[in-house]
Structure 1
């Protein structure tokens, strides 16, 4: 009979017992956790980059939108200028700043008078010109939007307009008294007809309320757009005037016969 295996025999392969952990097959390491970590890091990087790009692009997008609104506003004023010139051609005078009743009470704005020259004849025909603009007889028209009178940058009630006349005895619009181009001796290109005032001075498009020279000068120009606003000159040209304009120059642009030397404004 053979002798049992001697545990102390160095030739015995089981003489040095391996730890149990080492005897078991090692599990394969899962790559799922690594993939999730990599994807998560990539997502965070993408979010961060997207945020940076959005921060860079947003001001540019806003500036582009305002530029488009400013161009549309300029086109509105050009249409108004053309309508005023066509009115002058038809009646040999500009409309008064506002019409009045027999007692001198203001009734309607110049914006009402030029409606037929803005392709709004049908709307004009609905107005009772003998009654105030806000009379019950004119309520339907007063609630109607005229797109040409709406600055796209203006917020709030779309029936309120920024396009107003500067009512002044020395200006193109001297209240209820109409003016002829021949009376503008400073030159049509140097004289303001209509200004785009700040939103705080907006009026209903039918209302005979306008703006006077003192209010215009106190505002330092107009600010419906960044840095200033548009002004319609008597020759029909539209200019963008900054808020930093010299009040003396601005006053000279309003008067029609002061013989001011405005220079390059």
Structure 2
């Protein structure tokens, strides 16, 4: 007699149960995977800022001062200046880029577009140039595509111009002025048409912000300080405390802290345009932004941090020294 064994497979119910279990496991694991990816992106963003900090310190060692936050060399339009992002390139092993730039009264740094749509001639090396050291991996902003052209990089890090009125301390107006585009400040570290040394940071380099992360959207629009691209400077050569006045001082590369991190405030004359002086500092990191202190250390700044404390960190000489944060 020949015996036949009956081989039994999965029933439909068993198969559905297995599929359901796998689905539950994936649902449980997916947030952990996303968190791990964000942690890696945040670490990369932090490393970028550390690299910027080292470059700033090397610049200071070379010139005995920090770079201009932004600057211009003439009153005539179009402007010809640039900002700190360009000035520290040699200290970030990007000297070959600077070797191909001209810093003259007739050159400009509009990276692919200028007033009236004119193209650059002498500084075309900046066109379509993207440096990963100036990009946070978490950012959803376009690498290129800014105001007036699609060939200029959007940088994700902005210089600390200081704290807007009212600032902490006995003088709420110290180092701030209305220059026509929100509060302009020179109570920070990287400001328009002026530069300072570490000796000018009297609150201490470990208590004063140098560079903020600025890599997110404000009300679903890119309103970061990237007017004409990452490399543009100031509208004119006057500073906040110029005796002749500072009217129409719009610029790229720095921001005077007026609103809390990750705010969605769109205020005409302050945050609604990329060239304003009070562009919001922000990020795609959950719960806060990265910040580079003047001593070269990088901190994660929680968006729930008391705003007065944050203003104290933004101001270099208000005398309101803080503890750990």
Instruction: Give TM-score scaled by structure 1 length.
Output: 0.81
Q: Distance in 2 between matches of 1:88 and 1:61?
A: 41
User: In the alignment, does 2:286 pair up with 1:226?
Assistant: yes
Q: Which of 68, 75, 87 does residue 103 from structure 1 map onto?
A: 75
1:4 maps to which residue? Answer: none
2:139 maps to which residue? Answer: 154
User: In the alignment, does 2:187 pair up with 1:144?
Assistant: no
* 1:89 CA drift (Å): 0.5
Q: Check the 8 A contact 1:87/1:94 in 2, yes or no.
A: yes
Q: Distance in 2 between matches of 1:251 and 1:111?
A: 23
Aligned structure 1 segments of 4 or more residues deviating by more than 4 angstroms = 218-221
Paired residues for 1:110-129 under 5 Å: 110-129=84-103
Q: Which of 231, 245, 250 does residue 206 from structure 1 map onto?
A: 231
* 1:39 CA drift (Å): 4.2
Q: Distance in 2 between matches of 1:263 and 1:70?
A: 24
1:41 maps to which residue? Answer: 13
2:243 maps to which residue? Answer: none
* 1:189 CA drift (Å): 0.3
How many residue pairs end up in the alignment? 235
Report 1 or 2 for greater relative contact order, CA contacts < 8 Å, sequence distance ≥ 6.
2
Q: Distance in 2 between matches of 1:241 and 1:106?
A: 34
Change (3 A) 1:85 1:153: same
Q: Distance in 2 between matches of 1:129 and 1:185?
A: 32
Larger radius of gyration: 1
Q: Distance in 2 between matches of 1:103 and 1:218?
A: 33
Structure number with higher helix proportion: 1
2:22 maps to which residue? Answer: 50
Q: Distance in 2 between matches of 1:264 and 1:199?
A: 26
Q: Which runs of 5+ in 2 are unaligned?
A: 111-118, 144-152, 162-184, 218-222, 234-251, 264-280
Change (3 A) 1:257 1:74: same
* 1:212 CA drift (Å): 2.8
* 1:112 CA drift (Å): 0.3
Q: Check the 8 A contact 1:216/1:222 in 2, yes or no.
A: no
2:248 maps to which residue? Answer: none
Q: Distance in 2 between matches of 1:151 and 1:110?
A: 18
* 1:99 CA drift (Å): 2.4
Q: Which range moves more in the overlay, 106-115 or 178-187?
A: 106-115
2:193 alignment partner, SS class? coil
1:258 maps to which residue? Answer: 318
* 1:195 CA drift (Å): 0.3
Q: Distance in 2 between matches of 1:56 and 1:218?
A: 31
1:27 maps to which residue? Answer: none
Q: Distance in 2 between matches of 1:216 and 1:80?
A: 24
Change (3 A) 1:71 1:214: closer
Q: Distance in 2 between matches of 1:89 and 1:74?
A: 23
Q: Check the 8 A contact 1:217/1:247 in 2, yes or no.
A: yes
Q: Check the 8 A contact 2:290/2:298 in 1, yes or no.
A: yes
Q: Pairwise CA RMSD of aligned residues?
A: 2.3
Describe the superposition over 1:232-253 as per-residue Cα deviations: whole angstroms up to 9, x where unpaired. 1110010110101111111111
Describe the superposition over 1:93-147 as per-residue Cα deviations: whole angstroms up to 9, x where unpaired. 0000112122284621200000000000111111223322115122332311111
Describe the superposition over 1:130-170 as per-residue Cα deviations: whole angstroms up to 9, x where unpaired. 32211512233231111100101011322312200122211
Q: Check the 8 A contact 1:162/1:197 in 2, yes or no.
A: yes
